[in-house]
Amino acid sequence: MSAIPTSSGPVRRGGLDLGHWLETAAAWLLAIIWAAPLLYAVWAAFHPTGYAARFELTAPLTLSNFVAAWHAAPFPRYFLNTVLLVTFVTGAQFVLCTLAAFVFARSRSRWMGLLFALVLVQLMIMPDMLIVENYRTMRALGLVDTIFAIGLPYVASGFGIFLLRQTFMQVPKELEDAARVEGCGTWAILWKVYVPLARPTYLAYGLTSVAYHWNNFLWPLVITNTVNTRPLTVGLAVFASTDQGIDWAIISAATLLTAAPLLLSFLLFQRQFVQSFMRAGIR
């Protein structure tokens, strides 16, 4: 007698699984809620003021709102200030975090664990809690109302040090030993061995840092007083204040101008953005 074959696999039910359908519907609902403000801003920015709250498919399109917003406020200066800010902060963070992470990853000192724990304490402290002390420090240094003062409190990042340290610790010790045999010193080993292997981590952290400081608002609002130093977020808030008059079409156009670089960067480099975080070990 031949054995009757049996199947130990899961029994498939006909039709759609109710739980899966509910999860999909909830995901779409959350996506629509998240995207609703952006979709409204796009609608209002590309239509005349009279159609900002009238959703008619036959409404005329226009670019005059962007022209009006660009000339109503010094947005070129705001863009320049923001680019200088994120370049300074991200560059300084790369240098300082790389040096600190390398020391924490390869030093055998018994004090490294304690020092690294003190660095991680920074992750538990919200930056807004230090605004008063940071302002006092910048005033004592004579740096109030400067781009340097906006970025100085952020040049040492506990998150960046932690992320790079974890990446450096995964580099095989044999590669460092082989580089030393070839005659490389400590600086050459860091530059030629550790930094190239950590490129996905640098990309992931760089994207996060640029997005955060591009959108940072409270500290730049406190430390800046003039147009010459205001970044885009503060400039947009001043532009959208009641003193300028409330025209939602023009305000929406100004908002899109402010967010456009980040939105375009994400749409163009979406795959690289996700892959860099996955390779960096962030889930």
Walk along the chain (283 residues) and give the pLDDT tens digit of each residue. 445 555 444 444 544 578 888 888 899 999 899 888 888 889 888 988 888 888 888 888 888 989 988 888 899 999 999 999 999 999 999 999 999 999 998 888 888 888 888 888 888 888 888 899 999 999 999 999 999 999 999 998 989 999 899 889 888 888 888 888 888 888 989 998 999 988 888 888 888 899 899 999 999 999 999 989 999 999 988 887 755 556 788 888 888 989 888 888 877 777 766 766 666 554 4
Short-list 214, 222, 234, CA closest to 138? 222
* pLDDT score, position 239: 83
According to the model, what pLDDT value does residue 14 have? 47
N-terminal to C-terminal alpha carbon distance within the chain: 53
Distance from C-alpha of 184 to C-alpha of 95, rounded to nearest angstrom: 20
User: Can you tell me the distance from the alpha carbon of 117 to that of 104, in angstroms, rounded to the nearest whole number?
Assistant: 11
Q: Measuring CA to CA, how many Å separate 85 from each of 122, 152, 204?
A: 21, 10, 19
- The set of residues, in sequence order, having a beta carbon less than 8 Å from that of 190 and lying 6+ positions away, is 98, 102
pLDDT for res 2:
47
Q: Are 203 and 80 in contact, with CB atoms under 8 Å apart?
A: no
pLDDT at 245: 58
Using H for helix, E for strand and C for coil, what is the string for the chain?
A: CCCCCCCCCCCCCCCCCHHHHHHHHHHHHHHHHHHHHHHHHHHHHCCCHHHCCCCCCCCCCCCHHHHHHHHHCCHHHHHHHHHHHHHHHHHHHHHHHHHHHHHHHHCCCCCHHHHHHHHHHHHHCCHHHHHHHHHHHHHHHCCCCCHHHHHHHHCCCHHHHHHHHHHHHCCCHHHHHHHHHCCCCHHHHHHHHHHHHCHHHHHHHHHHHHHHHHHCCHHHHHHCCCCCCCCHHHHHHHHCCHHHCCCHHHHHHHHHHHHHHHHHHHHHCHHHHHHHHHHCCCC
Tokens at residue 21, please?
A: 């359908």
pLDDT at 283: 45
